């Protein structure tokens, strides 16, 4: 699908370099289609460049510090249709997600939560499962539509507002958009 320009695929590896080493081996036959974004400046420039035009190809994001790894997701979710990523705290991001294999055991709960609130897949722990999820999201319209509908519903009921609630509890001040 990438070679036929039916999809552009973004894979955010966070700060998990060992996953990049594994992925390079898996994609050895397709090195020419891989675009890497390993610095914050490059990640930001790329995301900004596709705000008004479609993306093409396979893009891998990997950062050497946790702040850039996390903020890359915050920035990329503004320009992607679906994100493939590890579960963890990303279960609470309002973007359709395909959850790949968790890095830590505790991340299992992020994938479970994402499936519970209906905006992501369950954890796909093997390549065939991830490919099946990609096929279901790209070849059928019901799953992606459901994820998007639930993101809108979840936002309306305040499900993604945990940080606002924490600030309100800490400061006694309610957040008001201006």
Domain extent listing, the chain = 8-171
Please check the confidence at residue 99 and state whether its pLDDT lies above 80.
Answer: yes
- 114-131: average pLDDT: 92
Confidence grade of residue 176 (pLDDT, cut at 50, 70, 90): confident
**pLDDT score for 102:** 84
Q: How far is CA 73 from CA 3, 65, 95, 124, 170, in A?
A: 25, 13, 10, 19, 26
User: For 37, what's the count of Cα atoms within 13 Å in the CB-facing half-sphere?
Assistant: 24
pTM for the whole structure: 0.79
- 67-82: average pLDDT: 90
| CATH code that applies to domain 8-171 | 3.40.50
Among positive and negative, which fits the CA dihedral 74, 75, 81, 86?
negative
* Residue whose token pair is 């702040």: 67
Which pLDDT tens digit goes with each residue over 128-161? 999 999 999 999 989 999 999 999 999 999 988 8
């Amino acid at each position: 699908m990438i070679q036929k320009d039916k999809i552009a695929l973004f894979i955010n590896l966070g700060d998990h370099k060992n996953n990049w080493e594994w992925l390079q081996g898996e994609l050895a036959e397709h090195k020419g289609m891989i675009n890497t974004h390993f610095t914050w400046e490059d990640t930001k420039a790329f995301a900004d460049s596709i705000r008004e035009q479609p993306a093409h190809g396979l893009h891998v994001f990997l950062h050497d510090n946790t702040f850039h790894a996390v903020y890359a997701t915050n920035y990329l979710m503004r320009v992607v249709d679906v994100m493939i990523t590890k579960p963890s705290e990303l279960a609470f991001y309002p973007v359709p997600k395909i959850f790949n294999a968790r890095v830590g055991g505790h991340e299992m709960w992020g994938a479970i939560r994402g499936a519970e609130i209906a905006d992501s897949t369950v954890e796909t722990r093997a390549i065939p499962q991830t490919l099946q999820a990609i096929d279901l999201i790209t070849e059928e319209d019901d799953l992606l539509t459901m994820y998007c509908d639930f993101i809108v519903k979840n936002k309306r009921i305040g499900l993604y507002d945990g940080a606002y609630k924490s600030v309100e509890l800490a400061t006694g001040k309610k957040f008001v958009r201006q």
